[in-house]
Every structure is written in structure tokens, then in C-alpha cells.
A and B are shown apart, each in its own frame.
Chain A
């Protein structure tokens, strides 16, 4: 084993957030044949929608899988499972990403936000959700949660986008119903530029 790969450095760098679980199971990976020590811990404390969720995550597991099948957050859809449709779009530290093409362990230190996390405690819809309802943006609705998340990400970084900027920002979300203009109207309404 490479002497530079000290166990301590990996504990510091890799699993700072789940120190409680680290001490026991790290030994398993260290014993595991001739593999270098420090493979990731399975047990994660994942920050999802402002809550800390303890969850057992395989090293190669995608975020979409963890959200849908382990945390019951099925608002995140799987369309293509290969980065080509946008149905699985969620936020990691306010940036929109494809949950199907992200390992859960890659966002273990980030704040993950899904469509379930948007409405207020009293049930009030997020302004983007409300605007999409008003503009009748969704048709079948399958792509909607992804569209909502991309719009939320856009308005966080650019609260008053032009229609063209919005079009660019939403271009990673496919809509098989072709409701693009309706979603764009929704984005413009949510940013207060349509009344």
C-alpha cells in the first residue's frame, strides 16, 4: 500500500461529515484484499431539502436512485437515465444538475434540493410552481419537476432574465409535449416580468 495514503487523511478529506460511522466500516475497506484504504463510506448524512437524512448508499449509486428509491422522493423523475432529457434535474448548492448522472457520494457535502423541497411549510407553492400553474405550463407533466428546478436555479442566479436568457437556461430540459413556450411564459411570470 502506498504509505502516503494514510487513513487519517482520508477520514479528514472524504468522510468528515459522517465521522460516527467512519471508525468502524473504514476497516472493512482497508482489509479488503490489496485495495488502497479510504474508499468511501456507504453510510451518508445527506442534506436533502434542508433535512439531514441518514442513508446507506452504494459507491456507484446515482443521486436519482437514492432520492427515488431510498428516500421516497419520487418527484424527481427518470426519463433517459443518461443525461439527455432533464427530467431528473435537482439542485446541488443551488446549481441545477442531472440526478441520473451524479453519484450520491459526489454531493455528500452539498445541499440537495428537489421539487418536494420548494413549497413553504404552510403548503404555499414556490413562485415558480405558482407561475407554472397560472401559465398552464405543463401538458402531460412528466418533465415538469425538472423544468421547475431549472427555473428555480436560473432565478437564483439571475432574478430578471431576458426571455432569451431563460431559453438558454432551460435548454437542458426536454419536453416531449413541446410546451416550451408555456414554460418560458412561466419563467417570465415567476420573475415578475409578465402580469
Chain B
């Protein structure tokens, strides 16, 4: 793919207050592009696969930085970088699941600038779409991945609806597992959306991966204390340990009392367009011991309803095995 040396001409704004950023974003509407760390953004623009009239760099907005304790948990500013998440002492102590997930994103240099907001808001990594082809997700009327010859090894095994791309975010499933709340500001005020509702699949909206619309700014991510210091399990399987996106990732939170799983949330990444909660597995393991026999009793419950494409059947046993490892209690 051609990767031009420079991006096409655009203007750049560096507001220092959320209201100003919203004002600029509204004036440019769908021709404005918010930038956190820019690590998902610049590839689109260099490749001329997407374009914008103005970049709105949010990094000068001090109120969107830092990790704060709140009455019910913590609030992570939207601009907090993935590296900061891996190093934050409160997150490391209470929610190590999120630190582990953030620590497996891309590479150290990308984590040093990539923000939590950008990580959850990033677009899908389907190469046909990234190449700039006019597929369903780009507003066209066909899918290049879901054909007999389509290269779909990385694509969805659940809930495809014309588009078969998967959620690329490593932190998304962890945030859904932790019952995080996404704080979104726009010109008419602030709304708070559960992480589970923040991500949207192609059945609801084929051109957007989240509920964010032009003029919306994700300002913070709240994590309730409900799952603080619970038992956690995170694992990401990718072709390489650096840079690569997940083939399947798993984020689990479990309340275990005397070895028995009282409650859990088990969420898988990269199997459909949104983080996939395994509610059937959660129900099946409630009241069971966290051990090998529970893990084995689950069988293929997670993948039973999967609908794989030509080249991604391997994701089914991969997902089932990650679920087993999570339930077993050790890798």
C-alpha cells in the first residue's frame, strides 16, 4: 500500500478547554477529526483512505488528564495514555486487568502516546476498508472480506451484519468486564454511557464502531468499585507479541468466595465488531468452583453459536481454550 510521505493539507487546532474543542468540532462537523495520540488517525490520512479538513488535537485540555479517585471507584481522564495506565498505582492495585490489557497494545512507543479514549474509539482494522475500498462500512454496498476468496482470517465469528470486521481494541473488553462508564460531552451537556452500550455493531450502525458522533467528546472513563480487587484474567493471542492486533483476547472479572465463583463477567475481543460478553458462560459457572473441572465442564459453550468465515474457524477453539484457562485459575 502506498504510504505517502506527508498528509494532505489540513488545519490543526489545539484547544485547551473542552467547550472550545466542542465548538470547533461542531463547526467542522463530519470534516473535523479529533486527535488523542493520533496513532489510529495518521495512517488513514497518509493513505488518503479517509480525509478531514481540520484536526482537533485534544492533548492541551488539562481537565481530561490524570487518574482520580471518586466516591465510587476511579475516573480515568480520556487523555491518559496506555503507558500511564500500565504504571498507575491505583489501577495496578485494584484493576490490574486494565493495566494488563493496556500493556499489550501495539508497542511501547504507541502506548506512550496512544490514549484510552483513542483506544476505545479506534476504527476497525479490516485491510480492505483501511485500503480505502468502498465497502459497506465505507458507505458502499459490498463486503470484500466475506467472499470465498476474501482474506478473513482475522474477521468475525459472531454477529456479522454485512460487515464482518472485529473490534481491534485491547482495552475495550476489559472496560466492559469492569462495568466501566463512558463520560461523553457535547454542546448540549454531558451523558454517561455504559461501556457495553458504547460499542455498536454493524446491525445497529455499520459506519461507526461507537455511539460517538461529530461534536461528541469522550472526556473520561469511570470504573466503579464493584470489581475492585476481584479475581482477574487477561490473555491476548496475536501472531506477534509486539504490534499485532488480537486474534482473540479475553478479559474476565470474577468474585470468588471460598473457591466458588459467585459472580463473573467474561468478555472476548476480536470475535465480533464489539466486545462480546459470554453471558451463557457466566451463568453456567455461577456457584461453581474456580478449578479444572469447572473449566472442562464448559466445553464449547462459548463458541457453540459461532458462525465462522472461510479462514477463521481457528478462533472457535482458541476462544474456548482462553475461557477454560480463565476459569481454571491459572494460565
A and B bind: yes
- A: residues with CB less than 8 A from B are 1-2, 4-5, 9-10, 12-14, 29, 34-36, 38-40, 58-62, 65, 78, 80-84, 86, 89, 95-98, 101-103, 105-106, 150, 168-169, 171-172
Q: What's the dominant secondary structure at chain B's contact region?
A: mixed
- Residue numbers of B with Cβ under 8 A of A are 3, 5-17, 19-20, 23-24, 26-27, 38-39, 42-43, 45-46, 54-55, 57, 59-60, 83, 106-110, 112-113, 241-243
Is A61 a contact partner of B6 (Cβ separation < 8 A)? yes
Q: How far is the CA of A10 from the CA of B19 in the complex (A)?
A: 13
Contact B110 A83 (CB under 8 A): yes
Do the beta carbons of A13 and B112 come within 8 Å of each other? no
Contact (Cβ within 8 A) B43 A60: no
A-B complex: 7 closest residue pairs judged by Cβ atoms? A172-B107, A13-B16, A59-B12, A2-B23, A171-B242, A60-B7, A39-B11
User: Nearest Cβ in chain B — how far from A56, in angstroms?
Assistant: 14
B46:A82 contact, CB within 8 angstroms: yes
**Closest residue on chain B to residue A42 by CB atoms:** B12
Q: What residues of B have a CB within 8 angstroms of the CB of A150 in the complex?
A: 108-109
Residue of B with least CB distance to A84? B243
CB-based contact B113/A172 at 8 Å: no
Q: Tell me, in angstroms, the Cα distance from A81 to B6 when the chains sit together.
A: 9
What B residues does A13 contact at CB under 8 A? 14-17, 60
Indicate if the CB atoms of A101 and B6 lie closer than 8 Å: no
Which chain B residues lie closer than 8 Å to A1 at the CB level?
27
Contact (Cβ within 8 A) A81 B27:
no
Chain A residues with CB below 8 A from B11, complex form: 29, 35, 39-40, 59
Pair B6/A59 contact, Cβ less than 8 Å: no
Contact check, A39 vs B12: say whether CB atoms are below 8 A apart: yes
Residues of B within 8 A of A105 (CB): 12, 14, 57
Question: Are A172 and B24 touching (Cβ within 8 A)?
Answer: no
A109, B9: Cα distance in complex, Å? 22
